[in-house]
Structure 1
Amino acid sequence: MQTFDDITNLQSTLSTWRRKGYRIALVPTMGNLHEGHLRLVDAARQHADRVVATIFVNPLQFGPDEDLERYPRTLAEDQRLLTERGCDLLFAPNVDTLYPQGQSALTRVSVPQVSEGLCGTHRPGHFDGVATVVSLLFNLTRPDVACFGEKDFQQLAVIRKLVRDQHMPIDIIGVPIARDHDGLALSSRNHYLDDKARARAGRLHECLLESARRLEQGEPSEQALTKGLQQLEGAGFQPEYLALCDTETLRPINTWQPGSVLLVAARLGSTRLIDNLSFPT
């Protein structure tokens, strides 16, 4: 696997691949890789001849009271994992490389509607930061396909709308959530959980499953969601939302049916966790 931190070598290599007719897949990450990220690489390999991963802890998507400075940076270990998984190229730039004029002077990208509500309410400006850096990475790498995890379901919806609205010739692939033994969705932030919190964290997914069962049995959505929030509070969580939404628009809906998704965000101590469950196909 080649690793570059500069744009010139990145684009030179990609140009060579394109001349050879290779189909290129992109896997954007913030590093501190786990099995969920590596499954994105696996999915990318299925859809392309060459796989490019990026590692960039993007300051634009962190709020002023969030964990930018302590977000784990594990480049050497990430390189090892990507190499073992068959990634062909890693682009790991620093902030000055991507934002040479500084963050305050940077042209921003905003995706309306799907970025509003849910995590957009609790993390103002987060999805503008996501859309800005992903748009920039798409422009730099010009991939044929890009893979994103379904755990960050609202992020995936934002990126799909970005690509659709901008007529970008990129296939966006959503990759199913990778889970731990108790159902907890894998996340780089899970390592913030101490042993006691980690033992309770699986209740987040259990709450989703139980709420979905109530909805499937015909319980009114408002009642089912209220019970779910109460269960989370009883398990020691501080819930931010539990919502039933349309999978494409993320607008609230009242019926658990094809095209719906149940989304949750909650804090366990100082750690923010998210998860979702789509109507079974």
Structure 2
Amino acid sequence: MQVFKEKTPLKVAIKAEKSKAKTIGLVPTMGALHHGHLSLVKQALQTCDRVIISIFVNPTQFDNPADLEKYPRTLEQDIKLLEEASDNLWVFTPTANELYGENISSEQFNFDGLDQVMEGKYRNGHFDGVGTIVKRFFTIVEPHKAFFGEKDFQQLQIVRKLTEKAGLPVEIIGCPILREDNGLARSSRNERLNLEQREKASFIYQTLLKTRELFGTKSADYIENWVKEQFKNHPVLKLEYFEIANTQTLKKINRKRKGHNYRAFIAAYAGDIRLIDNIALNNEE
């Protein structure tokens, strides 16, 4: 397995692969890899001849400097995990200077309002940072396909909007959420949870499952109030937001409309560790 630290040698190697008509897949990550990431890699390997995994903790998508500082960095372990997964992988581990030069800042994007709700509402500038780094990786790698987890569903829709607006010839593929045995969505942040937090954080998924059940007969307002009540006295978790939104526009639901798909989105804190999750409430397109 080859590890590239600089973009120029990577681009040369990719060009050689494309000259042999090989399909290039990209799995962008911030490292601290877990089985959720490996499920994306596995899906990429099924449809691509060469899969590139980027490992880069992107500073421009963190609105909280403390969160950036605490984000787990386990590069040696990550590379070992990928080596065990497949021989057909390349890893790209650039520095911030390699990607940004001296000016580590975000571009400004118009995502047609997808970035103004939920995560965007609570994390100032987050999606401009995401858009900036994804666009740079797409420019460097020029993949045929890129794979993103549905745990970050809002991010997935924003990346789709980015490729559409910028006219980038990349097929964006959303991959199902992988969960721990208790239902907690797999995340690099889970490694920061203590035993009690990790156990009780399963409440998030349990709440989403009940939300899906209620969605058949109850209004969105009823469900939102019910969720807030469930979290009010929780011993470990503090709810930041809960919303039911249209899958395509991410706009908060007023009333259900036939032919539209909806998802429930949730963000909660266990101590200072922020956890997000979501679930489809009806048939997905």
Normalising by the smaller structure, the TM-score range is over 0.9
The CA RMSD over aligned residues, in Å, is 1.5
CA deviation map 1:194-219 (0-9, x unaligned): 11211210000111111221111x11
Q: Give the counterpart letter for 1:60 in structure 2.
A: T
Q: Does structure 1 residue 14 correspond to structure 2 residue 4?
A: no
CA deviation map 1:96-131 (0-9, x unaligned): 100113214x64445341111101111010111000
CA deviation map 1:43-67 (0-9, x unaligned): 1112211100000000000113441
Query: Which whole-Å CA distance do the structure 1 matches of 2:239 and 2:12 have between them?
Result: 47
Q: What corresponds to 2:211 in structure 1?
A: 211
Query: Which whole-Å CA distance do the structure 1 matches of 2:282 and 2:205 have between them?
Result: 15
Q: What corresponds to 1:72 in structure 2?
A: 72
Matches within 5 A, 1:1-281: 1-86=1-86, 87-104=88-105, 107-216=107-216, 218-236=217-235, 237-253=237-253, 254-255=255-256, 259-281=261-283
Give, in angstroms, the shift of residue 277 of structure 1. Answer: 0.3
Kept in 1: contact 2:107–2:128 (CA 8 A): no
Identity of aligned residues (%): 39
Query: Which whole-Å CA distance do the structure 1 matches of 2:108 and 2:50 have between them?
Result: 29
Query: CA, structure 1 residues 225+125, in 2 after alignment: closer, same or farther (shift >3 Å)?
Result: same
Q: Quick check: 230-239 or 2-11, which moved more?
A: 230-239
Q: Where does structure 1 differ by over 6 angstroms across 4 or more consecutive aligned residues?
A: none
User: Which structure 1 residue ranges, 5 or more long, are not aligned?
Assistant: none
Query: Which whole-Å CA distance do the structure 1 matches of 2:249 and 2:74 have between them?
Result: 35
Give, in angstroms, the shift of residue 161 of structure 1. Answer: 0.6
When normalised by structure 1's length, the TM-score is: 0.95
Query: Which whole-Å CA distance do the structure 2 matches of 1:10 and 1:150 have between them?
Result: 28
Q: Quick check: 84-93 or 125-134, which moved more?
A: 84-93
